[in-house]
Every structure is written in C-alpha cells, then in structure tokens.
Amino acid sequence: MRVADRIRAKLTAGLEPTRLAIHDESHRHAGHAGARPGGESHFRVEIVAAAFVGESRVARQRRVYALLAEELAGPVHALALTTLSPEEDKKS
C-alpha cells in the first residue's frame, strides 16, 4: 500500500474527517535530506474534523502525529499540517 493511502486510511479511521486532502510534495524536495528516490517522503495534509473542536492547534497536530507514528518513524520525512474544525473550515 502506498504511503499516502496508509495516511488516508489512518486519519479517516481515527478522526472521521469531513474533508481530507493529502498532497505528496516529495518532488519539491528532491536532493534534500530525507528525500527518497521513489518519493512519498514529504506530505502536506489538510484535514477538517469535528474531533478538533475545542482543541488547540498543538493538540490537533499531536493527535495526527500519534495516528501516523509508524509513518513518521519510517518513510515520511516531513509532514505539513492544516487542522481545522468544521466551523473554522466554513470561515476560510
């Protein structure tokens, strides 16, 4: 299974997002530290979930990091996050 697919499956199961976008930005980091020849090492994730209501930005990111601990310990070198509650998503 591709890394992006594993990220999608884990975030969907753990947070039941109303919106989830996963962008593989590995091509932008070719030749940099942590970049792998096959890509799937640098990701940007935008996630909207009711589970984030009342949580700080740091608490939200920690939740995502915990769900993706295996990927962050292995193939994922960098993960940029946008974590929003459904109400915040309506404002943007």
Q: What is the CATH number of the domain that holds 71?
A: 3.30.300.90
Going from the C-alpha of 41 to that of each of 5, 76, 91, the distances in angstroms are 13, 4, 31
DSSP result, 12-49? HHHH--SEEEEEE-GGGGTTSTT--TT--SEEEEEEE-
For residue 10, what are the domain limits?
3-91
- 71 has pLDDT over 80: yes
**Residues β-bridged to residue 20:** 47
For residue 16, give the 3-state DSSP assignment: coil
Is the overall model pTM greater than 0.85, yes or no? yes
pLDDT in tens, 13-50: 999 999 999 999 886 656 666 555 666 888 999 999 99
Count up the domains in the chain and report the number: 1
More confident: 78 or 39: 78
